[in-house]
Amino acid sequence: MFGKNNQKRNIIIAALAIRLLLAPFAGHPADMKYWEYFGKALLVEHVNPYTNFVYPPPWILIIGVMYNVYLVFPNQFFLYFVLKLPIIIGDIIMGLALYDIVKELSSSKKKANYALALFLLNPYTIWISSVWGMFDVLPALCTLLSLRFYLKGDKKVSFLFLGLGAAFKYYPILLLPVLLILEWRNNQKFGSLLKDVFYTGLPFVVTSLPFIILNWESYFHMITQSPLMLHELWSIPASYMSFLYVLQDISPELFSQLTNDFLWSNILSYTIFLVLYVLIMIHLYKRESGSQSKFLNEGFLMVILAILFSSKMVNEQYLQWAIPFMIIDFLIFKDNNQKFFITLWGAFFAFFSINVPVYNFIPDVYSKTYEYTAFLAPFVDFYENQIPRICKSTALFVLGLTISVTFVLYLRNLLKRDQVKQ
């Protein structure tokens, strides 16, 4: 069973076993409580979640289903397990989709297995899904499946998957012009493009209907509270804004002034993004004709890199959006881009390991009860009380800067890769 000839199966079994073993015993101290609260509100208390739930509908519907499973055997460990199960399944499907795409494009089972392992056995992806419990793999999977079905010729399904991704988190809607440019270059008429837009919007409308019927005012109020890249500075992310970590220590007054007046950062983020987005669209429109797979993968990747570089709110799980396209990129189209992949997932993993230390993902440690983790108490005390805060903030600043520089270098590399029509 675990022989060399079954490498694909071995990778999947190992990846699934690791995730399932970790899932019940750890979780993000805030996010897992958040999912539990809204599952209870939806299934037990029967109240409208869109009084303070800010994500679009699909994830809360999944939470509701899984919370109903939890009620059969109400236990904290089982709760963490069932809430993460859809995310873990998303991980496995993502790995399989990557395997199929890479195998088809490269005709190499070795490269396909490598792609599978790079995603499923990556410490970063394992941590986000089975330890953290964040669902960013689901919209990322939808965008990858959109690419997959477009290449197979199932364009209606492709646009539906892209729309489903945007119904989980908004960013995939910014990938739609990449598909529309390709459709236009393939001599599709304007009416056909309108149908593509319709199919993209359909998943969001369908999943929103129950909440619109329940209370449309509260629904639209909440889902517009956290639009793409437009945030108050309620937390400091893994981006060029990470200089605020150090500023918080060396100049609290200036830090307070900058974070209380967040309009400047919104203007900065949107200006950077719009400039990059327009450049990318012009590049895609003018570039020499080539394979659809290369056009779509690079187009999707460039837009995501532009979002991640320009946005002031790059939370640590957002790298999941880019990882599948990065893997395809350096395995199929540009081998030396692997350095960007390694740098980014390593820097993101280090960033959240410092920002939210590993022990905080263990409920018994986070609550300081130490019922079964007393051996960790000295380590927690050392990290929290003995290491100067300026050391942590400086490390986060350096990592945030590394992440931002890597994003822009990768994007520049992609924009320079192909000559465009003159």
Q: Whose CA is closest to 312, among 364, 386, 237, 380?
A: 237
Residue 40 identity: K
Cα–Cα dist 119/112, whole Å: 11
What angle is formed at CA 168 by the lines to CA 167 and CA 171, rounded to 5 degrees? 80
Cβ–Cβ < 8 Å for 91, 137: yes
Question: CB 60: neighbour CB atoms within 10 A?
Answer: 19
pLDDT of residue 422: 38
pLDDT of residue 419: 52
Cβ–Cβ < 8 Å for 82, 70: yes
Cα–Cα dist 84/69, whole Å: 12
Q: Which residues contact 113 (CB under 8 A, 6 or more apart)?
A: 7, 8, 11, 99
Whether residue 399 has pLDDT greater than 90: yes
Residue with tokens 């900058």: 258
Q: Tell me: the pLDDT tens digits for 44-85?
A: 888 888 888 888 899 999 999 999 999 998 998 999 999 999
Cβ–Cβ < 8 Å for 247, 258: yes
Whether residue 421 has pLDDT greater than 50: no
pLDDT of residue 297: 96
Q: Tell me: the pLDDT tens digits for 278-303?
A: 999 999 998 876 789 999 999 999 99
Cα-Cα-Cα-Cα dihedral of 244, 227, 134, 217, to 10°? 130
Cα–Cα dist 145/150, whole Å: 8
110-124, 151-165, 221-235, 251-265: the lowest-pLDDT one:
221-235
